């Protein structure tokens, strides 16, 4: 070829290359879009990132950035999702949902304060969408749940887990020594890479607990259960002889969806699995959960007629041999605009599932629901069952508060299996008996413990005034402290309604019977002896003291200030003392235990330490005589001093009273 022809060919190539390159880039973008539409998020994310540079229009670039974020959201890679949603927003992506998804990603990345700000932005832009308000609440509640755990102990089940995804554990025998779970580990049968997850196709694996309480090395389930496709999320009938599980075919040329299959245990081996006909081949029917009576099959689907996203549905039958009914959605009390998955029906009737649509800590949270007269009451299981990450696939060991669940909280990107248990509630009480006036510890007495289950115990108080005792759940307690020379003192505690272990601490003050005991908050109108209504609250406490100390008799003393004549004050105080006695008799206190005594202005009060703290202008030990009060510098101080003299007291006369 001469040089002229070479030049001509080169010139032709110069004209053809740009269009050819553009065509190649367009083809790459089209292929990336097809992968995304097919739900092949792992491969789509890679291809969209490669094709992004070929797009010049800003709005198209923003759309691609958003889709990359979606790929990572759908595969629970929250850090990457946050990164690409931010890029989409900076590029001007217009749909406000990007703000919502950015908030969700930040929440999964434990950035609750930042996530709350994004939820507020979304609520301002789309005030009619409750997901904004729910997101704000979820950030606040997540911090509270983290601070106040629910008492469960959670530990990574390392022996079950691999470097790949391991999830959805279920018990497979009535002795709870066999566990099936789903895994994409290297031992899985399918060797192709799943375009959705980027890992191998998953299979069902089994592990058994031996006599030494050690779990065996997980191995693939025997029989024709596992294939080159995805198998996982199984459930067993009440006799553990029928297994329901999910199989998802994968074909780049056709969308197959997922199916639920059933198989029977025959002579120790699983029979050939059969598809349960619920919907057509292109619909996702997955995550089976059979009810304890074997008559309801719950499952997850994105079929039309749901609340949005993936919903939990059910089919029912009248007996084990009947056909299944038409699918029925569990409704808006369970399902939301988000995804509800991994159902599980406990033997006690409680329904468990995972959701990212209900208020949660981040990603999928595990919820429990009780059916109350036909309505589901849904409750988040809280921390540490739930976390900032995806938490799902819970199973219980019979009626015990222990079992397994799945989570990707380890931050390695893959799902792991965790074991949980709820230790028995433990309640105890540490008490201290003190002198009411000095607040010093009183040793040498005893404490009577009366519980609402009908049991009464008595224990000594230590020389340092302390005592300790255990307590039962859901029980009310009364603690009555006794010591010679003191009135009995009483405190109450209860363990009812508590779902966490707790150590209670109480102090029981005892009043000495050596000196009169003032009755606070006893009020009369000026120059009258009728009790005002607010006085009766304090007198009801005195009634309780007399009931707790049935062997004492008391004198009810009433005092006035020095204003007015001595004769009038004497008569007024006697009538006031009698009004107190009359009230106590009406409340059932025997009259022969009560002696009214009016002192008038004869016994001015002596200033004690509590009075000094309340009125610093007074000096401890001073007697509040009329002369002293008149010497005070202003009228307000004088009035406060007079008020201290206007008082009602009682003192113990006898401690050997016996009811006639």
| Among 212, 203, 159, 240, residue whose Cα is nearest residue 419 | 159
Mean pLDDT of 184-195: 78
pLDDT band for position 8 (50/70/90)?
very low
The per-residue pLDDT for 255 is 54
d(CA 312, CA 331): 8
Sheet arrangement for strand 178-183: 166-171, 178-183, 203-208, 219-220
The per-residue pLDDT for 5 is 40
Asked if pLDDT for residue 537 goes beyond 90, the answer is no
Using one digit for the tens of pLDDT, what is the confidence trace for 216-262? 999 999 988 999 889 999 999 999 999 999 998 876 555 567 999 99
The per-residue pLDDT for 410 is 82
3-state helix vs strand vs coil in the chain, percent to 5:
30, 30, 40
Using one digit for the tens of pLDDT, what is the confidence trace for 84-100? 999 999 999 999 999 99
The per-residue pLDDT for 195 is 62
Mean pLDDT of 9-25: 46
Record the pTM.
Answer: 0.71
Instruction: Report how far Cα 158 is from the mean position of its chain's Cα atoms.
Output: 26
Mean pLDDT of 449-473: 95
The per-residue pLDDT for 522 is 77
* Residue 207, CA distances (Å) to 9, 398, 659 in order: 68, 18, 72
SS3 state of residue 10: helix
618 Cβ contact list (under 8 Å, min separation 6): 607, 611, 612, 641
d(CA 73, CA 65): 12
Asked if pLDDT for residue 17 goes beyond 80, the answer is no
| Among 465, 522, 471, residue whose Cα is nearest residue 649 | 522
148 versus 483: the higher-pLDDT residue is 483
d(CA 129, CA 101): 13
Parallel/antiparallel/unpaired status of strands 594-600 and 553-559: parallel
**Residue 100 in tokens:** 């919502």
The per-residue pLDDT for 268 is 86
DSSP category for residue 333: T
| Cis bond before residue 339 (omega within 30° of 0) | no
The per-residue pLDDT for 591 is 93
In order of their start, the domains of the chain are 28-147 (1.25.40.10), 153-417 (2.115.10), 427-510 (2.60.40.1120), 517-654 (3.30.1330.60)
Helix and strand numbers (H, E) in the chain are 12, 32
Asked if pLDDT for residue 2 goes beyond 60, the answer is no
327 Cβ contact list (under 8 Å, min separation 6): 278, 279, 301, 303, 313, 314, 315
pLDDT band for position 525 (50/70/90)?
low
Query: Which residues of 30-177 form beta strands (DSSP E)?
Result: 153-156, 166-171
Is-contact 287 341, C-beta < 8 A? yes
Using one digit for the tens of pLDDT, what is the confidence trace for 341-393? 999 999 999 999 999 999 999 999 999 999 988 899 999 999 999 999 999 99
CA end-to-end span of the chain: 138
Query: What value does the mean pLDDT of the chain take?
Result: 89
User: Poorest-confidence range of 245-254, 553-562, 593-602, 632-641?
Assistant: 245-254
The per-residue pLDDT for 257 is 78
User: Poorest-confidence range of 28-32, 318-322, 550-554?
Assistant: 28-32
Asked if pLDDT for residue 608 goes beyond 90, the answer is no
Percentage of the residues of the chain whose pLDDT score is greater than 90: 67
| Among 18, 56, 50, residue whose Cα is nearest residue 33 | 50
d(CA 130, CA 113): 19
SS3 state of residue 124: helix
Q: Which residue has the tokens 């000495």?
A: 512
Q: Which of 72-81, 90-99, 245-254, 555-564 has the highest mean predicted lDDT (pLDDT)?
A: 90-99
The per-residue pLDDT for 321 is 84
């Amino acid at each position: 070829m001469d040089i002229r022809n070479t030049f001509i060919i080169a010139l032709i190539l110069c004209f053809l290359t740009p269009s050819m390159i553009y065509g190649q880039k367009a083809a790459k973008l089209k292929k990336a879009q097809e992968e995304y539409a097919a739900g092949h998020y792992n491969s789509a994310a890679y291809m969209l990132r490669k094709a992004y540079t070929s797009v010049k229009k800003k709005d198209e670039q923003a759309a691609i950035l958003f889709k990359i974020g979606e790929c990572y959201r759908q595969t629970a890679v929250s850090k990457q999702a946050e990164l690409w949603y931010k890029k989409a927003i900076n590029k001007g992506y217009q749909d406000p949902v990007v703000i919502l998804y950015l908030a969700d990603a930040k929440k999964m990345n434990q950035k609750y304060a930042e996530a709350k700000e994004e939820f507020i932005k979304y609520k301002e832009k789309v005030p009619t969408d409750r997901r904004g308000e729910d997101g704000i609440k979820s950030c606040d509640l997540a911090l509270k749940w983290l601070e106040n755990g629910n008492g469960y102990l959670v530990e990574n089940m390392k022996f079950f887990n691999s470097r790949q995804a391991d999830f959805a554990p279920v018990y497979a025998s009535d002795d709870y020594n066999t566990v099936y779970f789903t895994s994409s580990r290297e031992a899985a049968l399918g060797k192709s890479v799943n375009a959705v997850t980027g890992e191998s196709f998953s299979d069902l694996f089994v592990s058994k607990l031996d006599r030494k309480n050690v779990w065996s090395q997980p191995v693939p389930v025997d029989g024709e259960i596992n294939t080159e496709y995805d198998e996982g999320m199984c459930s067993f009938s009440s006799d553990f002889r029928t297994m329901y599980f999910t199989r998802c075919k994968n074909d780049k040329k056709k969308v197959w969806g997922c199916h639920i299959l059933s198989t029977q245990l025959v002579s120790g081996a699983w029979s050939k699995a059969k598809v349960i006909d619920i919907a057509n081949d292109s619909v996702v029917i997955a995550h089976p959960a059979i009810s304890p009576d074997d008559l309801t099959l719950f499952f997850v689907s994105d079929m039309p007629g749901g609340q949005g996203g993936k919903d939990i549905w059910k089919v029912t039958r009248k007996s084990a041999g009947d056909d299944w009914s038409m699918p029925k959605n569990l409704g808006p009390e369970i399902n939301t605009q988000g995804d509800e998955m991994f159902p599980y029906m406990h033997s006690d009737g409680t329904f468990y599932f995972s959701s990212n649509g209900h208020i949660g800590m981040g990603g999928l949270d595990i919820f429990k629901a009780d059916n109350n007269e036909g309505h589901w009451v849904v409750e988040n299981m809280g921390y540490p069952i739930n976390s900032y990450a995806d938490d799902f696939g819970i199973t219980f060991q019979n009626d015990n508060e222990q079992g397994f669940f799945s989570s990707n909280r380890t931050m390695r990107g893959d799902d792991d299996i965790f074991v949980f248990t709820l230790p028995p509630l433990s309640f105890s009480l540490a008490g201290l008996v003190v002198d009411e006036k000095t607040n010093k510890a009183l040793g040498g007495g005893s404490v009577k413990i009366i519980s609402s289950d009908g049991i009464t115990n008595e224990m000594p108080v230590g020389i340092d005034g302390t005592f300790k005792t255990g307590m039962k759940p859901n029980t009310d307690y009364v603690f009555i402290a006794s010591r010679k020379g003191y009135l009995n003192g009483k405190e109450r505690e209860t363990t009812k309604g508590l779902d966490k272990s707790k150590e209670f601490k109480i102090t029981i003050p005892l009043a000495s019977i050596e000196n009169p005991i003032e009755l606070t908050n006893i009020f009369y109108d000026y120059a009258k002896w009728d009790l005002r209504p607010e006085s009766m609250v304090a007198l009801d406490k005195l009634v309780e003291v007399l009931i707790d100390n049935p062997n004492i008799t008391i004198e009810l003393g009433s005092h006035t200030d020095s204003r007015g004549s001595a004769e009038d004050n004497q008569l007024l105080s006697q009538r006031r003392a009698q009004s107190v006695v009359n009230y106590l008799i009406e409340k059932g206190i025997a009259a022969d235990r009560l002696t009214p005594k009016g002192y008038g202005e004869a016994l001015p009060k002596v200033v004690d330490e509590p009075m000094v703290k309340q009125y610093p202008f007074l000096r401890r030990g001073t007697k509040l005589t009329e002369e002293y009060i008149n010497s005070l510098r202003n009228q307000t101080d004088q009035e406060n001093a007079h008020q201290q003299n206007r008082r009602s007291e009682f003192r113990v006369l006898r401690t050997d009273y016996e009811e006639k």
